[in-house]
Amino acid sequence: MDRVYEKALPEERLFGILPNCSHVYCVGCIRKWRCSQDFQRGVIKACPECRVISNYYIPHKYWVSDVGEKEKLIEAFKARSREIKCKFFTQNQGYCPFQSDCIYLHELPAGQWRCRRQRPRMLVVSWGLLAAFLGGWSMAAQEKGA
């Protein structure tokens, strides 16, 4: 782990504060962890140390260890985020892949209608029905050894 205050550039001297656990990392380290393609999404959303999931992290100049101060920081960050339009929601005409976990504003530009996307339906078929559909196979033929 890097030492945040020893970073060469001032803009790199930021902590990445996870809202759901007490561990804090350099913001560059937590970004790198979250961009990893080596793990499943649930793993990269979790703290690298305790594995508690946090859907977002808060870039901050100071390490906040006091629980009350951390709660204030989280609420202030979420309040600021709620004023910023979600780019996914806007680009996808009313659909955000993060759904209720998203902390940004879900609002379309004036005059634009929300396009409700339907999830693709999954068809569950038994093997017998699938085989019958694909090749005319029947249970009777299978039992006779045909």
Entry pTM: 0.64
pLDDT computed for residue 50 by the predictor: 92
Q: Look-up: residue for tokens 């996914």? A: 88
Residues 14-59: pLDDT tens digits?
888 999 999 888 888 888 888 877 777 778 788 888 999 998 999 9
CA–CA distance, 146 with 135 (Å, rounded to integer): 13
**Rg of the chain, C-alpha, whole Å:** 24
Q: What are phi and psi of 26, to 5 degrees?
A: -65, 140
- Give the domains, in start order, of the chain with CATH numbers: 4-80 (3.30.40)
Per mean pLDDT, which range of 81-85, 102-106, 138-142 is the poorest?
A: 138-142
Neighbour order of strands in the sheet with 58-60: 24-26, 15-17, 58-60
